[in-house]
Amino acid sequence: MSYLHLIDDTQKPTASRDSFRPTPLSLWEKPRTRPIRVFLSTVPYDTMKLGYGINTKTKNKKKIYGYTPPLGLGMLARVSKEYGAEVIVNDAGPLGDDYDDVIAKAAAFKPDIVGFTVFTSNFAQALESVERVRKHPQLKDALVLIGGPHVYTFRDKTLDEIPADIAVYGEAEVDLHELFEYYDGKRDALAAVNGIFYRTKNAIKKTEETHSARSLDNFGFPDWSQYDFSLYRNIPGQIKRYPMTSMITSRGCPYRCNFCFQAGRFADKYRRYSPELVINEIMKLQADYGIREIQFWDDIFFINKKWVQTFCSLIKKNKIDLTWSGYARVDLVDPDLLKMAADCGCWNIFYGYESGTQEMLDFLDKRATLEQAVNATKWTKAAGIGIRGSFMVGLPNETPEKGRKTIEFAIALDPDYANFNIFFPEPGTILYERAIESGRLLSQSYLGRTVPVYLPEGYSSPDEIRALQQEAFRRFYFRPSYIMRRLIRTRSFEELEQYYEGAMMLLSMGKTKVKYAFHTENSKTGQESRNVF
């Protein structure tokens, strides 16, 4: 049966066509006599509330959980400074900025260039932010750049929907430098700038990207001075010490899980900084900003045993006092590697378990087994390292019975923390294409990780999927044995406070409302603004 009639895009915002213009070919009537001014910002978007239905604001207003530094904007800030530009990175989320705040800050800076990062999740907020720049009397002439995963995936379509001047899909650090050169008259045409889309009067033009094979050691690290590290507090229980930061030591992923953006049709070539360069940067972070903990956000930090061995040996050699965590695959760890990591400050590892049935793991092309998941979990615990695990429900080919096997498997593995996401077809992935072809998408819009936008054949309604997710969280976290074990392990009042705040966030999932408008065969008239969690 086709479900094409269920697709509803009434929520998807559109920009006024008056906001669109051909990309300016010059920024100054005469050669500039002052540095270029660049204003880079995240958009006003509460990831935890809108993406996961979780209220992260506590009674202590100084603690807003769920944010880490925007590393991509920091990289562009460093490139800008190296070119001689004046630059500001504004992180709207943890600062509590709304649209008016972001625009006011931008206008006060009087930038030549304004840049925003666009994710599929914050598409609406990015569009609104760009439109406001376009309509502001002091900003309307600024060059507006957009980049990020949404641009990387949807390419020229992004400029057709968002009235920015240039969309950067390539290696933004190099491409931005080339843009500076073009507007300074050092390049003959926009077509000579790598990895961008730009708009002419009649069409959207693309330039090729030739920098994707460059060694990451040539790219450097973010301009850390742009961040106020006191703002960044991840979800309770995921950080041991503050101040903290996130860091990425690689790009791309050689694996091809069919649900993952990093394995999609535009998958990046896998590259990594040398461990020596990473260690030097960590030592600078500690000397300049007192960083005590790092979350490594590589897709697979533990992908190369030799790299990790060198990294750990350098931590010991330089006597670095650091706690850290990273992502791993269950088929790439062993007892010796885990013990070595634990001895050098690793206290937590994130595993993408995904499912509790081998049939579903094979369908997802995970190239891992349930036995490997059990062994990796056992070895990690034996090394004294905590575990965060990720699972999905509402997958294609899944039934409620298979979904409950995932819940039971999660309980049996018993990681310290488990996240149960409702499957979302990531644009650009194999499963996204299959979801489109199946006609079972309920909405083309991103509505968060707790709202089904895809209805598998094995489920009768979106409500059944949501109920299964709620069951998963309830059965995992509200086990008396789990609660007692967490309390016994508590070593400080601050840790106890984090557990309490984490529990409040978990309970808030049932109270946060997000608008949506789609109907299923059980709800012919559609639903608007109801509690979807």
We report the CATH number of the domain holding residue 442 as 3.20.20.70
CA distance 250 to 300: 9
Identify whether residues 181 and 286 lie together within a single domain: no
Nearest 5°: the CA angle 376, 381, 383 is 95
Q: For the chain of 533 residues, list the mean pLDDT of each consecutive stretch of 10.
A: 37 81 91 95 82 55 76 98 98 95 98 96 94 96 95 91 96 95 95 96 93 81 97 84 96 92 75 97 98 97 98 98 98 98 98 98 97 98 97 97 98 96 91 92 78 94 95 96 87 68 62 43 36 29
Cα–Cα distance for residue pair 482/476, rounded to 1 Å:
8
Tell me how far apart the alpha carbons of residues 524 and 453 are, in angstroms, rounded to a whole number. Answer: 16
Three-state DSSP class for 399? coil
Q: What is the pTM of this model?
A: 0.90
pLDDT at residue 450, as a whole number: 79
Residues in the chain: 533
- Cα gap 15→123, rounded to integer Å: 12
- Whole-number pLDDT of residue 266: 67
Q: Is residue 517 part of a domain?
A: no
8 Å CB contact between 182 and 176: no
Same domain, residue pair 260 and 188:
no
Q: Are residues 326 and 458 in the same domain?
A: yes
- Here the tokens at position 504 are 């409040």
DSSP state of 169: -
Return the HEC string of 206-243.
ECCCCCCCCCHHHCCCCCHHHCCHHHCCCCCCCCCCCC
Strands across the sheet with 143-147, in order? 86-90, 37-41, 113-117, 143-147, 166-168, 196-199, 204-206
- How far, in Å, CA of 299 to CA of 317, rounded? 26
Residue at 322 is within a domain: yes
The answer to the question of residue 246 being in a domain is yes
| CA proximity to 152, closest of 112, 99, 212 | 212
Q: Which residues contact 430 (CB under 8 A, 6 or more apart)?
A: 258, 259, 263, 264, 365
Residues 132 and 173 in one domain: yes
- 167 in the same domain as 286: no
Domain extent at residue 405: 237-492
Q: Is residue 73 part of a domain?
A: yes
Same domain flag for 346 and 300: yes
Q: Quick one: tokens of 51? A: 């993406």
Q: Give the model's pLDDT for residue 512.
A: 44
Q: Which pLDDT does position 4 carry in this prediction?
A: 34
Clarify whether residues 254 and 395 are in a common domain.
yes
Residue 217 maps to a domain: no
For residue 527, tell me if it sits in a domain: no
The helix/strand/coil state of 446 is coil
Position 523 scores a pLDDT of 38
- 108 occurs within a structural domain: yes
**Predicted local confidence at residue 1, as pLDDT:** 29
Per DSSP, 465 falls in state: H
Same domain, 156 and 106: yes
- Are 312 and 278 a contacting pair, CB within 8 Å? no
Q: Name the DSSP letter for residue 23.
A: P
Q: Domain check: are 173 and 251 in the same one?
A: no
Residue 501, domain member (yes or no): no
Q: How far apart are CA 346 and CA 328, in angstroms?
A: 12
Q: What is the pLDDT of residue 448?
A: 72
Q: What is the predicted pLDDT for the residue at 8?
A: 44
Element (H, E) at 86: strand 86-90
Split into its structural domains, the chain has a count of 2
**Of 206, 226, 260, which one is at a domain's C-terminal end?**
206
54 and 181 co-located in one domain: yes
Give me the CATH number covering residue 36: 3.40.50.280
What is the per-residue pLDDT for 309? 98
Q: Which spans in 29-122 are helix H?
A: 52, 71-83, 92-95, 99-109
- In terms of phi and psi (left: phi > 0; alpha: psi -120 to 50; beta: otherwise), the region of 96 is left
Q: Quick one: 160 and 272 in the same domain? A: no
Give yes or no: residues 112 and 19 share one domain.
yes
